[in-house]
Amino acid sequence: MVDFLEALNDPAVAFLRYALLAGLLASVSLGVVGSYVVVRRITYLAAAIAHCVLGGVGAAVYLQQTQQWAWCNPMFGATAAALLAALVIGLVSLYAREREDTVIGAVWVVGMSIGLLFFYKTPRFVDPMSYLFGNILLVSARDVWMVAAMGAAVAAFGLGFYNKLLAVCFDEEFAALRGVRARLYYLLLLCLTAVAVVLMVRVVGIVLVIALVTLPAAVAGHFAQRLWQMMILAVLCSMACVFAGLAISYPTDLRPGPTIVLIAGAAYLLTAILARLRTTV
């Protein structure tokens, strides 16, 4: 623990400080969005969106190298792919006559496959593992600024339209009857989820990020009686998981992404047991 705190001040391992900052900042928007995702029960959609991010990252890495498009960096590709996936998955879940889960499962794997093919066609080898499971060595000061700016935007939308999003999540039909464009807000929610997911890709990766969307909100759900309370608790829980995960993984040389996720999982298990004991006693 002392090692970890000292390392945070050590200029030689600046990435650790950046990773912690990015993780804590991303926790804010993830806690807000994750609470909506959990109460609206669209974890599955959020997971599909997160996995499609690999398609965008792969395409961006490929284009950056082969076309010399410097602006086309992996985070740009990730954001574009996440938003596209959010809209496709959202529209499918709203309008498709097909079995919804089948189509969403298909979008999920197609997005990943596109990404993997791009990775393998990229001339200079880039390891997809960094994006799948996170790699804090890649976090730069610029990333921290990007996470702060985009996270602030997501939180502003998520909190600014709180009443409408709450109404749409609780009872879409009634919200529509009151003149709220329920489908539009549902798509907005999926787009906010998409951006929030991208913010955590550097730290925990595409595959593991869904744990930080749902588990902190699920932990908070055991204690919160209002949605905004759930959001505050989820943000704090997510921050605690990120901090503890980095603090444990740094001196022990474990990978930070899986460590953070395991802590979040343990927190969920613990609070679920506590909640059960409280109701049965």
Partner 1 sequence: MPTEAVISLREVTFSYGGPPVLEDVGFSVGPREAVCMVGPNGGGKTTLVKLVLGLLNPQRGEIRLFGESPRRQRRRAGYVPQHIQYDPRFPVSVMDIVLMGRLGQGGIRGLTGWYGRDDRRAAIDALEQVGMEPLRRRPFSALSGGQRQRVLIARALCCRPELLLLDEPTANVDTAVECRLAELLAELNRRMAIVMVSHDLGFVSGLVERVICVNRRVAVHPTSDLTGKTIHELYGGEVRMVRHDEHTPHEHADG
Number of residues that bind partner 1 (CB under 8 A): 27
Pick from 63, 126, 166, 247 the residue near partner 1 by CB under 8 A: 166
DSSP letter (8 states) at residue 97: S
How close are the terminal C-alpha atoms of the chain, in Å?
Answer: 37
Q: Of the ranges 46-54, 82-90, 163-171, 264-272, which one interacts with partner 1 (CB under 8 A)?
A: 163-171
Q: Which is nearer to partner 1, 120 or 174 (CB)?
A: 174
**Letter for the amino acid at 242?**
V
Pick the closest to residue 134 from 191, 184, 81, 74 (CA basis).
Answer: 74
Asked whether 3 and 251 are in contact (CB, 8 A), the reply is yes
Do 54 and 127 form a contact (C-beta atoms < 8 A)? no
Give the range of 13-21, 137-145, 224-232, 265-273 binding partner 1 by CB under 8 A. Answer: 224-232
Q: Interface with partner 1 includes 99 (CB under 8 A)?
A: no
Among residues 87, 137, 164, 244, the one that binds partner 1 under rule CB under 8 A: 164
With b for 16 or more beta-carbon neighbours within 10 A and e for fewer, the 249-272 pattern comes to bbeeeebbbbbbbbbbeebbeebe
Of residues 161 and 243, the one with the C-beta less far from partner 1: 161
- For residue 224, state whether it binds partner 1 (rule: CB under 8 A): yes
Site string for partner 1, 120-139 (x = CB under 8 A): --------------------
> Rounded to the nearest whole angstrom, what is the least distance from the CB of residue 54 to partner 1 in the complex?
32
List the interface residues with partner 1, window 36-95 (CB under 8 A): 39, 41
Q: Hey, is 232 helix, strand or coil?
A: helix
Helix (H, G, I), strand (E, B) or coil at 231: helix
| Interacting residues toward partner 1 by CB under 8 A | 39, 41, 160-164, 166-167, 169-171, 173-180, 221, 224-227, 229-230
